Structure 1
């Protein structure tokens, strides 16, 4: 890894007039912003479908994309919708928040209309659409069947369907779904559009020397097509009910731990099959992303196993994961891969050894460092093979943390440790801190670049509702923001070398470091 930096901003947080961010114009403009400020990376959250709680980490499929991100302006340009179709729609009243109920309610009829127009034209029989279905049939067909059956059963999870549907039988399900061709094609076409629009956007990023850091959760949701069709991958009973589920143990923040409820993989079975499913998952991920961040990396060394009947995580126990064998097999089949190991939480020497065996960089979170001890999350302890953040999507913003979570002793330590100048905004001071670190890569959250407080928080772990909904103001990226980011990037030698060589860095920085001093208020 060369010394570089980037910005974390999920697709849903991009501004537009359709209630939720998409693969449209604002995404291309964001890439231009990264290019202009010398960045190399755009980090996003999982692109997979969302379900109850709106979390991108709880998906109906490990492979299918979130159709909320399909851009309507592109569909209008391609002739599948009219401007009048969308002009009078209300996608939500709040500019800075995603109203998922409203977005879902308004988008579905529009997408259905667009799909109908697409299918009415001969072009749906073109090689591009048919080739997409053919190349992805091993996950796409079962996903479309799954969503079709789910919709025909009032969106209930598969384990609450009638028994003849709950127990997946390929021949029976195919015959059943063929009676509902319109619904089936809806999911095939919208997945085609999702991937087409995303690959166009990614190509634009790569052409402009910006690389995409994607994110995949370690676990799969119980209400997923994988659990329905491939239950042998998981630890389940004869009725495909999980015998154990995932989570994390009690800690200083929770006496009960975190009860995630995701099914746990049958690692013994997977090893016997050369980890075929995980290899496929990683292969597909590298079509979508240039670098993959794997969430909850420590679960590959040991994972917290909770009896399925338990209501809290406190009754769980540690069990050994696949360890280095999994990553050897992935490398054997895919070659060298670029991974960021999310090695946060309860980390043991065994987890560290596994990460070092893989060679993957780990993560450092500056917010976690201020405890009046010589913490490994303090900047002077960062090694080059790390990715530095002030906070992640699960943390409060820099400003919110400083004002509402850190105590007075911690705030004093921050100010002294970072040599915070009089009037320097705390978000800027913390960002400047990670920029100066030895970490090869630094990722700033967009909320911190914009100096947002609690209104910019993305997620509060172990809570449902009012998460994943923050959106950026259309006018948020000012010249001040660009110049500030460019100055840190230049000062701490993180300029994207490919951009410099191609002369595509266009920001003319006129600010000195003293110009960046702003009041915290």
Structure 2
């Protein structure tokens, strides 16, 4: 595969969402701690930083059901660069009773006024022109949400829900300041992320992003392009996405995302997907397609169902989609998240388009020697993880598994509980898989209380953050030794 792909040479990466960085207000951001993290990675010898999607979440903070596939999360905008630019003046931080996000929002409004007074709008105008195809709809979507107490678009008055031109024109006139603020925040997001990505690339680190297969129902994308989704005339989904019963849930997972109107997408040459991928390629060097198997066949659940059990598999035009994308972009630096119920047809689609698959060591033990996740069964064109953002930390996982599985783990690895999680990390690094990725929690040897996400649990996820005092002074040197030992530096 070509330069910048997951498999052109042996590499190792760290999995950490920017919200999990220290610093910032309420969550990590693109400020000084992000640059310090890049320097830490480089000192360790890691050459891939894997994030979760950077899109704007809803109140549950999940980046996998966001308000836009194109926009960036304004919670990640750092205030320090705005002070340096002179667009903000120093203050004493959040006021009494003001939470971190409210404070950040207030300061971003102040920054726009400071930016306007500075007078140099060339870069900003260029950004608006380049992103117009999605930014206009997204800013309008956010203005209407703000005017209707953040209610979902499908509960708006009919003329706004159905995008009547007179109603939208009235919103633009009445809430022009809100629209301009949203556009300015997207300018800041992309400006700061581009600078951070450039800094990482200069340190030899590729940025590895994540594309959720499905789109959040309450999103600018679905509201603006209802023709691309299986919705009725009132905008209600006819069927929704999820997965059947699996490792994570006995009743499956009912995600609730609307399904794509694949026939309509095929008719215009998958233009919606081309625009989506074009945006992601400006943000990342590598891209993981979450729930890749849904591009071969997807689990279709009646919109009225209470669980995912009553769904059925439907065929998806994944092969045609990838052919169209390759014709548009040439080489695609993609990784397929091929976990769950994987059929020969899913494997054939991934292999036809040369996409690396995923191996997760948490899924390797408790069975027999044929388990494909065991290191001796790995393939070169794959990405190996100890666990992902949806798994427990390795130490938390060890507390959950049964005695037979625990015995298998330590017998296979030739290790003991005191050597975990490092013995599992070493197994990942020793794998023939070209890319090995380890969550920051496993590097820091943290337990289940530091888990990022628990699928099927609605509250309390996506909030984990690490602290620099958890990083031992010799940690970078130790990891550089390990990555050199296993040929990943």
Q: TM-score range by the shorter chain?
A: over 0.9
The within-5 A match list for 1:390-429 is 390-403=386-399, 405-420=400-415, 424-429=418-423
Q: How far off its partner does 1:179 sit?
A: 1.8
Per-residue CA shift, 1:351-385, capped at 9, x if unaligned?
A: 11111111100000001010131210111000000
Q: Contact 1:397–1:447 at 8 Å: present in 2 too?
A: yes
Question: How far apart in 1 are the matches of 2:81 and 2:112?
Answer: 13
Q: How far off its partner does 1:194 sit?
A: 0.4
2:108 is matched with which residue? Answer: 111
Aligned residue for 2:56, secondary structure, equals coil
Q: Does 1:192 align with 2:199?
A: no
Question: How far apart in 2 are the matches of 1:61 and 1:252?
Answer: 29
Q: How far off its partner does 1:257 sit?
A: 1.4
Q: How far off its partner does 1:85 sit?
A: 4.8
Question: How far apart in 2 are the matches of 1:423 and 1:222?
Answer: 44
Per-residue CA shift, 1:465-488, capped at 9, x if unaligned?
A: 110000011223333321221121
Question: How far apart in 1 are the matches of 2:42 and 2:405?
Answer: 35
Per-residue CA shift, 1:87-111, capped at 9, x if unaligned?
A: 65777xxxxxxxxxx3333322222
Aligned residue for 1:83, secondary structure, equals coil
1:76 pairs with one of 71, 74, 83: 83
Q: Contact 1:85–1:110 at 8 Å: present in 2 too?
A: no
Closer, same or farther in 2 for the Cα pair 1:342/1:90, shift >3 Å? farther
The within-5 A match list for 1:372-387 is 372-374=367-369, 375-387=371-383
The within-5 A match list for 1:337-352 is 337-352=332-347
1:471 is matched with which residue? Answer: 465
2:319 is matched with which residue? Answer: 324
1:294 pairs with one of 279, 289, 294: 289
Q: Contact 1:363–1:387 at 8 Å: present in 2 too?
A: yes
1:451 is matched with which residue? Answer: 445
The within-5 A match list for 1:22-421 is 22-86=29-93, 102-123=99-120, 126-170=121-165, 172-251=167-246, 253-374=248-369, 375-403=371-399, 405-420=400-415
2:22 is matched with which residue? Answer: 15
Alignment length (residue pairs): 481
Question: How far apart in 2 are the matches of 1:106 and 1:24?
Answer: 16
Question: How far apart in 2 are the matches of 1:13 and 1:52?
Answer: 17
Q: How far off its partner does 1:15 sit?
A: 0.3
Closer, same or farther in 2 for the Cα pair 1:17/1:316, shift >3 Å? closer
Q: How far off its partner does 1:56 sit?
A: 0.5
**Coordinate RMSD, CA, aligned:** 1.5
* Structure 2 alignment gaps of length 5 or more: 1-6
Question: How far apart in 1 are the matches of 2:164 and 2:32?
Answer: 43
1:515 is matched with which residue? Answer: none
Closer, same or farther in 2 for the Cα pair 1:64/1:85, shift >3 Å? farther
2:4 is matched with which residue? Answer: none
Question: How far apart in 1 are the matches of 2:307 and 2:423?
Answer: 39
Q: How far off its partner does 1:407 sit?
A: 1.3
More deviation, 38-47/111-120: 111-120
Q: Contact 1:246–1:264 at 8 Å: present in 2 too?
A: yes
Question: How far apart in 1 are the matches of 2:267 and 2:179?
Answer: 34
Q: Contact 2:43–2:477 at 8 Å: present in 1 too?
A: no
Q: Does 1:461 align with 2:484?
A: no
Aligned residue for 1:439, secondary structure, equals coil
